[in-house]
């Protein structure tokens, strides 16, 4: 799941070296945190969150296969 988001994000950003995906597992729930360069935030979020939402929908397919629930947040780099 981490790999899915990492593949999509690195394919869409201008600076793939800044892509980080963190995975926090709590039982059968997983939260992914995606970080990209500040200038690439728009590319992974999209207008009205369209890109991020499409990523969440695809994540759901992968999660269903593993019988878990998954959420994803996009965070600004510190």
Partner 1 sequence: MNRSRTSLEVIAPSVEEAIRKGLSELGLPREAVQIDVLDEGSHGLFGLGGRQARIRLSILAPEEVETAPSQPPAREAPEVEAPTPPATELSAEDELSLRVAIDAVSELLALMKVKAAVTAHMGEAEEARNRRPIMLEVHGNDLSILIGRHAETLNALQYISYLIIGKELGRSIPVIIDVEGYRSRRERQLRQLARRMADQAVKTGRRQVLEPMPANERRVIHLELRDHPQVKTESIGDDPRRKVTIIPQ
- Type and span of the H or E element at 5: helix 2-12
Among 12, 37, 41, 45, binds partner 1 (CB under 8 A): 12
- Which two structure tokens, joined as six digits, stand for 44? 């992974």
Q: Restricting to residues 47-66, which ones interact with partner 1 according to CB under 8 A? A: 50-51, 53-55, 57-58, 60-62, 64-66
Q: Are residues 63 and 32 in contact, defined by beta-carbon separation less than 8 angstroms?
A: no
Residue placing its CB nearer to partner 1 in the complex, 29 or 61: 61
Q: Edge-to-edge, what's the strand order for the sheet holding 29-35?
A: 20-26, 29-35, 69-75
Minimum distance, C-beta of residue 78 to partner 1, in the bound complex (Å) = 26
To partner 1, the closest distance from the beta carbon of 29 in angstroms equals: 18
């Amino acid at each position: 799941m981490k790999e899915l988001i990492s593949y999509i994000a690195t394919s869409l950003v201008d600076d793939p070296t800044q892509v980080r995906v963190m995975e926090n597992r709590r039982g059968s729930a997983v939260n992914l945190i995606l970080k990209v360069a500040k200038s690439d935030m728009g590319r992974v979020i999209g207008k009205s969150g369209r890109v991020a939402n499409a990523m969440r929908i695809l994540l759901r397919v992968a999660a269903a296969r593993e019988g878990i629930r998954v959420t994803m947040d996009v965070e600004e780099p510190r």
